[in-house]
């Protein structure tokens, strides 16, 4: 593995939760929002959609940057699979309420696509993290209050694990970071595929 290069990680995502996960893990990522139109991706299934969106975000940002052999671009996207439906961010409050009415007391599968690309090397690695989410049997009043907070309108599946929505998730099966938006163990594996130890990204 290459350890003598001062690597820089560029996060192709506007998500503050993803950036916070990286910061907590000792990685000061630069943020460049891709601005891609997510509607152009055919939502065949949640797994495929999450990876396609992550790949598109990373490649779009990478194409806009000057050559730097030390730069790595990471794209991530989360999508919830619930009863054969694909749930990204809800379009509005009404849709968020409708989703929660259906999801409460039941389970869904949260897929987060990860795509890593080297700006100069051309090396790429990608994978999808999958976590089963068991939702609490919340009341109508709790759903209305949660949606009124605005939080579920900003996130895939209309819920978060690291915010107010965490109280409405009974349990999960898998990596909690993946539900928040970025799996650190999966990122470590992808970096390893490219010959980069995750410790090379740690701040001094």
Residues involved in catalysis: 77
87 vs 182: CA distance, rounded Å: 17
188 vs 176: CA distance, rounded Å: 15
In the three-class reduction of DSSP (H, G, I as helix; E, B as strand; rest coil), residue 105 is classed as coil
The helix or strand, by DSSP H or E, that contains position 54, with its residue range, turns out to be helix 46-63
Which pair of tokens denotes residue 182? 């970025």
Please state the φ and ψ torsions of residue 4, each to the nearest 5 degrees: -100, 10
Query: Which residues lie closer than 8 Å to 128 by C-beta, 6 or more apart?
Result: 47, 50, 51, 111, 112, 113, 114
């Amino acid at each position: 593995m290459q350890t003598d290069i001062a690597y820089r990680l560029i996060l192709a995502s506007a998500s503050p939760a993803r950036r916070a996960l990286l910061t907590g893990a000792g990685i000061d990522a630069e943020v460049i929002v891709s601005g891609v139109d997510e509607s152009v991706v055919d939502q065949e299934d949640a797994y495929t959609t999450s990876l396609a969106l992550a790949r598109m975000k990373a490649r779009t940002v990478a194409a806009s940057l000057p050559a730097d052999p030390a730069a790595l671009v990471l794209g991530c996207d989360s999508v919830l699979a619930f009863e054969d439906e694909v749930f990204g961010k809800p379009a509005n409050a009404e849709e968020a309420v409708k989703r929660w009415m259906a999801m409460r007391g039941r389970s869904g599968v949260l897929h987060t696509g990860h795509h890593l690309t080297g700006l100069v090397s051309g090396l790429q690695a990608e994978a999808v993290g999958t976590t089963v989410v068991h939702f609490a049997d919340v009341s109508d009043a709790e759903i209305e209050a949660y949606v009124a907070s605005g939080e579920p309108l900003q996130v895939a599946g209309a819920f978060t694990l690291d915010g107010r929505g965490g109280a409405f998730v009974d349990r999960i099966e898998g990596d909690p970071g993946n539900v928040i938006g970025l799996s650190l163990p999966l990122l470590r594996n992808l970096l390893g595929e490219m010959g980069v130890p995750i410790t090379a990204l740690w701040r001094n």
